[in-house]
């Protein structure tokens, strides 16, 4: 069962999409669907603030309070 979502596009983005799809609304919807599907299939969407626990812990320096706050060094 499909779900619908409405989004607003900036004018320049809409114009680019309109040109790529030659004004075909069905093609535009399919293009957007495939773009989202491809982005999500890559695992971690670009721009996501999520990171692995290991990379988070490795940001702090050994012996610093920040390192200890992150769960290590205390």
Tell me how many degrees the CA angle 60-54-38 measures, rounded to the nearest 5.
120
Task: Encode pLDDT of 12-39 as tens digits.
Answer: 999 999 999 999 999 999 999 999 999 8
Q: What is the mean pLDDT of residues 44-55?
A: 61
Burial (Cβ within 10 Å: 0-12, 13-18, ≥19) of residue 60: middle
CA 58 vs. chain centroid, Å, equals: 23
Task: Specify whether the CB–CB gap between 10 and 20 falls below 8 A.
Answer: no
Task: Give the residue carrying structure tokens 């983005």.
Answer: 13
* pLDDT, position 48: 52
Helical segments of 1-74, H only? 11-20, 25-41, 53-59, 65-69
């Amino acid at each position: 069962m499909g779900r619908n979502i409405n989004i607003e596009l900036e004018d320049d983005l809409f114009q680019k999409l309109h040109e790529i799809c030659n004004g075909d609304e069905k093609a535009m919807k399919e293009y957007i669907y495939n773009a989202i599907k491809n982005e999500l299939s890559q695992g971690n969407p670009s721009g996501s603030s999520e990171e692995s626990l290991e990379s988070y812990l490795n940001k702090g320096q050994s012996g610093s309070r920040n390192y200890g706050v992150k769960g290590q060094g205390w």
